[in-house]
Amino acid sequence: MKLLFTFLTITSFSFISLGQQSSQVVLDNLSKKMKSQTSFYIEFSASTENKSTETNTSDTGKGWVKNNKFFASFGDNTIISNAAKTWTIVKEEKSVYESDAEEDDDIINPRKLMTIWEDGFKNKYGKETTLSGETVHQILLYPKDPGSVEYHTIILYISKMKNELKKVTIRSKDGTVLTYILKKYTANPEISDSKFVFDTKKYPGYTVIKD
């Protein structure tokens, strides 16, 4: 009986180790692919749900990334960064908030979304499942410093065949669930650097507020 218990214990730890190794391998492979690309374009949908507050919203967005520069539109709002400065354009207010790029950690950054697993997380392999008829890896991320963030778990869905991020679910401590679904991904498109510079002529009547 003791030998059987020992065998089962060793086997269980082996499967746990294999799962952890598999999740890291999947993430490393995706990181390697992302780092090999100098630019990309994405289209995505985002939804927010909280049953206790009866919150249920959804919107669509687009993102252009070139090295450390990005341009993101989400609903009526736009964020532009040339890696030195970031401009957050709020259509409803007719305002533009300008700040140093390195100070903006919580803004909608397409590159951060597509590489969210690379810093500050422990990971665990969930399971192999299907998403819209496609086989995907489900990987769970847990913050290493949970007291510093408002969420407790992030779930990634990564295409097994294409090695592409397909879906991100962020579960907050207050019960809010934020879900991003990638609708389109284009690697290495030609993008002019002018895309990542705020042009006042395109936003007449807007007030620029500098931090």
Count the Cβ atoms, other than its own, within 10 Å of residue 124.
17
pTM recorded for the entire structure? 0.83
Return the sign of the alpha-carbon dihedral for residues 202, 71, 146, 142.
positive
Question: d(Cα 127, Cα 138) in Å, to the nearest integer?
Answer: 5
Residue 91 lies in a domain: no
Question: Residue 29 maps to which CATH number?
Answer: 2.50.20.10
HSE (CB half, 13 Å, CA atoms) of 31?
12
Residue 206 lies in a domain: no
Using DSSP's 3-state secondary structure scheme, residue 130 falls into strand
Q: How many structural domains is the chain composed of? A: 1
Q: Which two tokens stand for residue 87?
A: 């401009």
pLDDT, one tens digit per residue, over 74-108 is: 888 899 999 999 999 999 999 999 998 876 555 56
Burial state string for 41-68 with b = 16 or more CB within 10 A and e = fewer than 16 = bbebebeeeeeeeeeeeeeebbbbbbee
Residue 86 lies in a domain: no
Residue 202 lies in a domain: no
| Domain coverage including residue 9 | 2-71+107-188
pLDDT, one tens digit per residue, over 9-41 is: 333 333 334 444 589 999 999 999 999 999 999
Contact present, 101 and 82 (Cβ < 8 Å): yes
Q: Which two tokens stand for residue 96?
A: 């533009």
Q: What integer best gives the mean pLDDT of the chain?
A: 86
